[in-house]
Amino acid sequence: MENQEENQIESFDSAAGESVGQAEEPVNPPEPGTPESAGERRGFIKFLCAFIGTLISAVPFGAGVWSYFDPLAKRNKGGGDGFVMVTTLDAIPADGSPAKFSVVADKVDAWNRFSNVSIGAVYLRLVDGVPKALHTVCPHLGCFVDYRPGNKDFFCPCHNSNFKLDGSLAVGVSPRRMDPLDIQIRNKTEVWVKFQNFQPGHSDRVPV
Ligand code: FES
């Protein structure tokens, strides 16, 4: 009987010993401040830097690819042919005096599309019933030219250049006359202007 009990005890011991031998070591997180935790932190920071670097370089690259392939980005402002509808014929003074009109169009660059924004202004006037367009920017250094109804002329206040109604230089330092712009009448009454900017300071018109 005693032998039997001893055998049982031995078998329990051996079973306990086996189970202790098979048990997995508990995995404890590295203590803060130990070399293991510092290594993990360094690894995470490296990954984060690589991720942010990739993101930063991917965004402009993607925008460049988009602007290269997107046909909208290649479109001229306001219309495919560069003409923008500015007003209708009946809005231009019938007496031949100039009136200033904003040029409103869609503006597209590599990053954004802005709908219906002002991209400049033109003076329109009727000459024998035919509309003529002049850019409102002075060809000297780019100030805005005013129309003076009392004098029936255009005047740039920056350096006192004076222009006649047809845009030719009367007196002043401007190297060329006011810039005329092409016009088309569409659908009988719509006034479309080929709006473009020119570099100031040149005697020739150099498109921007
Ligand atoms: S900017 Fe107009 S005269 Fe100089």
Tens digits of residue pLDDT in 175-187: 999 999 999 999 9
Q: Look at residue 17 in the predicted model and tell me its pLDDT.
A: 45
Spans of all domains in the chain: 34-69, 77-194
> If pLDDT is split at 50, 70 and 90, which confidence band does 24 have?
low
Cα–Cα distance, 80 to 31 (Å, whole number) = 66
Give the domain 77-194 fold: Rieske Iron-sulfur Protein (2.102.10)
Average pLDDT over residues 37-52: 74
- Counting from 1 in the atom list of ligand 1, the atom nearest the Cα of 145 is 2
Q: Is the CB of 141 under 6 A from ligand 1?
A: yes
- Counting from 1 in the atom list of ligand 1, the atom nearest the Cα of 143 is 1
Pick from 119, 64, 123: which is nearest to 92 by CA? Answer: 123
Least trusted range by pLDDT, from 31-45, 132-146, 172-186? 31-45
Question: How far, in Å, from the CA of 144 to the mean position of ligand 1?
Answer: 8
Q: What percent of the chain clears pLDDT 70, i.e. is strictly above it?
A: 68
Report whether 78 contacts 84 (CB < 8 A): yes
Q: Whose CA is nearest to atom 3 of ligand 1?
A: 159
Residue 200 pLDDT > 80: yes
pTM score: 0.63
